[in-house]
Structure 1
Amino acid sequence: MAEAALSSARPAAGIAARQTVQNINAPLWRNTLFVAPYLCFFVTLLVVPLFWGIWLSLHKADAFGIGRFVGIDNYARLFRDKIFIQAVGNTFYFVLLTVPTLAIIGLLLALALNRKTKVAAALRAVYFSSSVLSVTIVTLIWRIVFIGNFGLLATIYGWFGLPAPAFLSNPNLAMIGIAVATVWWCIGLPMMLFLSALQQVPAEIYEAAALDNASRWRTLWYITLPSIRRTFVLVLIIQVVLQFQLFGQAKLMTLGGPNNVSKPIVLYIYEAAFTKWDLGLGAAASEILFILILIAAMAQYFISRRKGEEG
């Protein structure tokens, strides 16, 4: 009898054990409590404002409230506005000036400072230090550099008896001056991302290349760059998203001038919504900016991914 009881108890114990394992592996809805704070902030600060901006862009709205529904009239007004079209062109020009420069210079700095020495560590800290400054401090520094007659650049040119370029007042140089200040300000993040990627490349690969007498150029081209390809794509996407949102530098250095040649889309949105109090027009411009950023980032991602698969 005892043996029969034991034999009947063993299958029951096995079934209970399997049920316990299944219960452990089953998803528990109470685990959502751990991500609930993030989801709350994500929905409140990103999702709700996105749809509210779309709704606002379809209405005639000002500081006193939302008026009548106007459909796509705000978008039609934007594309009839020559200043907005110019602001879109200025933003693309700025992105073309800064994003490739940040990626290339960041990679070169990372390659140069990827050393386990105290000097390299100190230089990494120096190059990254500019990234922690506020936009107000950065623009103040570069206004002192670029200001005519008695700025730092004018002083250096004066030593050689040459006139300094008027970066802040020349229509052909205003956006270039803003780009120079932005590259100096933002170079720390690309450099650190590339450094992190370089330190993940196995040292055995470089040792094998050295045994094969591979030159530094061949090692860079065939080992280093393919190994950090994903990081390069990440840097490009991050910088495209960030530089499309140019605002503080243009606002504080040139006020969008001269003749609106350095006015980006975000500055146009600010002036439309908070200077002219045309909130519907500002919301429409912000939605177009969102679409442009999304298209540019996704295009960069898919092009880079296709090149990586072909390679």
Structure 2
Amino acid sequence: MRDLPSSVQAKPRLGTSTGWIGLLFIAPFLLCYLALLVWPLLNGFWLSFHAIDLLSNMGRWVGVTNFIDLLQDEMFVRSALNSLLFAALCTPVMVITGLALALALNRPGRTTAILRGIFFGAGVLSVTIVTLIWRLVLLPERGLLANAMHGMGMAAVAPLNHEWLALPAVALATVWWGIGMPMMLFLASLQQIPHDVYEAAALDNTSRWRSFRHITLPAIRHGVILVAVTQMIAQLQVFGQVQLLTQGGPNNSTRSLVMFVYEAMFEQWQLGYAAAGAQALFLLMLAGMSLQGWLERRAGKAQA
């Protein structure tokens, strides 16, 4: 019997010394993953079915009562709608603006490198610094926006004090803060496209729009799906910008789901109720991840 090629030889089993050595290598990550992600997730799920006070940490089993109360809680419903609206405001702008910046800066040169650094640099700032900057911009009567409107002979507007403008103002600050990461992801996707394809299109006198539509977009569609879904999931978890810019006001028009969970736990001390709200947020993010998987499969079928 001839020897099997190396590519089909038996892999090391867990009972062998090689298998145990491999397990030791991944053990630190596995332990951290279980301790910091899996256990809190399971524990939060267990807590959501109990009525527990944060201070006493003693409670009783209430089943799905917490979830029923959430659906009947006007503040929870308002917070959930605000979070969904915020994600709907930010995600398309992140995708379109990030792609536009990537297309404009996808070329060699010192100037483009500097501009990439400038756009990406805002993302390394803390949420405290970002909100401080935008407070100076949006201050009523004295902010940069108010001074600009006075200079044009217009009455100053205070977006953070307006019920219909506060959430878009927070979304604008968030886009300014986080646009660097989508831009870099799109740049990485664009740089994977062979230049020969564009050269062949240029020889056929293909317009830039047709090249973008028939070459660029199909080649980066997986990147577009990734950016859209990750941004949607990230914006559903908005907390810092809202907490520091508006404290959920005016009239609860910017209160998010994470802020609702935070207040239920640390202000009302209702640990089980807060855990139920967190599970509702988890379900929304899980729906976003499921959407990504569905879009990836659909894109793969279209490519095939």
Q: Which TM-score band applies after superposition, normalised by the shorter structure? A: over 0.9
* Residue 221 of structure 2 corresponds to residue 229 of structure 1: yes
1:309 aligns with: 301
* Residue 93 of structure 2 corresponds to residue 101 of structure 1: yes
CA distance in 1, matches of 2:261, 2:182: 28
Aligned pairs for 1:1-311 (under 5 A) are 25-27=11-13, 28-30=18-20, 31-62=22-53, 63-303=55-295, 305-307=297-299, 309-310=301-302
1:3 aligns with: none
- Structure 1 counterpart SS, 2:60: strand
8 Å CA contact 2:222, 2:299 repeated in 1: no
- Structure 2 counterpart SS, 1:177: helix
- Number of aligned residue pairs: give it: 297
1:308 Cα offset (Å) = 5.2
1:18 Cα offset (Å) = 6.5
8 Å CA contact 1:60, 1:280 repeated in 2: yes
CA distance in 2, matches of 1:116, 1:20: 43
8 Å CA contact 2:229, 2:291 repeated in 1: no
- Assess, with a 3 A threshold, how the Cα gap between structure 1 residues 155 and 72 changes in structure 2: closer, same or farther: same
CA distance in 2, matches of 1:203, 1:310: 23
Q: TM-score, normalised by structure 2?
A: 0.93
Larger mean Cα displacement after TM superposition, 28-37 or 240-249: 28-37
CA distance in 2, matches of 1:86, 1:237: 23
Question: What whole-Å deviation, never above 9, does each CA across 1:257-306 have from its counterpart, x for those lacking one?
Answer: 01111000000000000111111110000001000111123124414542
Amino acid at match of 1:96: A
- Structure 1 counterpart SS, 2:107: coil
8 Å CA contact 1:233, 1:301 repeated in 2: no
1:25 Cα offset (Å) = 3.7
Aligned-residue CA RMSD (Å): 1.9
8 Å CA contact 2:130, 2:173 repeated in 1: yes
Larger mean Cα displacement after TM superposition, 67-76 or 131-140: 67-76
8 Å CA contact 1:148, 1:166 repeated in 2: yes
Amino acid at match of 1:211: L
- Assess, with a 3 A threshold, how the Cα gap between structure 1 residues 125 and 20 changes in structure 2: closer, same or farther: closer
Runs of 4+ in 1 over 6 A off after TM superposition: 17-24
- Structure 2 counterpart SS, 1:260: coil
Percent identity, aligned pairs only? 45
Q: Please tell me whether Structure 1 or Structure 2 has the larger radius of gyration of its CA atoms.
A: 1
CA distance in 2, matches of 1:186, 1:115: 22
